[in-house]
Amino acid sequence: MFLCSVVVLYALALASSTEVQQCPGRSEQSLKDKVQLIPCKKLPCRLKKGTDQHINILITPESDLEEITNEVKADVLGVQVPFVGVDGNSICDKLFTESGEKAECPLKAGNKYMYKDSFPILSFYPTIEVNVHWALKSRDGEIICFEVQAKIVK
């Protein structure tokens, strides 16, 4: 019963994906089916100060990966500003297998993993529209990269 519930939740997470854009120079297949920002029902995603934003990203590595980190930046008037508390962090303690079991690095090539995380929208962030650049990186390069329009609101 538990496994069935996990599989249903996994399918629901993918069914309610977020409309994201390719990073420049990338062509990730089915990108919109791999990323879910919660709560983001339409663009621009409203990031409310003082709340937590949740993200799920489905990845299937092409090679074994030892360590994976976030690269999360906001384009503010043409300047790339790192998201404090998220940018540069390891994701290895926030991974799950396709069946919903806890996973850790290293990741095995060809296996599907779900990265699940949350991050605060800090009160000192300016109330502004931004383009958020999000990439998962290993020492060999980017695993997945996307951009999404967002608006930081009070």
* pTM of the entire predicted model: 0.84
Sorted by sequence, the CB contacts under 8 Å of residue 94 that are 6+ apart come out as 115, 116, 117
Burial label for 60, CB within 10 Å (0-12, 13-18, 19+), is middle
Q: How many domains does the chain have?
A: 1
pLDDT for residue 61: 94
pLDDT for residue 16: 57
Tokens representing residue 96 in the block = 């799950």
The boundaries of the domain holding residue 46 are 2-153
User: What does the mean pLDDT of the chain come to?
Assistant: 87
Q: Is 99 helix (H, G, I), strand (E, B) or coil?
A: coil
| pLDDT tens digit sequence for 17-58 | 788 998 988 877 788 889 999 989 889 999 999 999 999 999
* pLDDT at residue 10 tops 80: no
CATH number at residue 32: 2.60.40.770
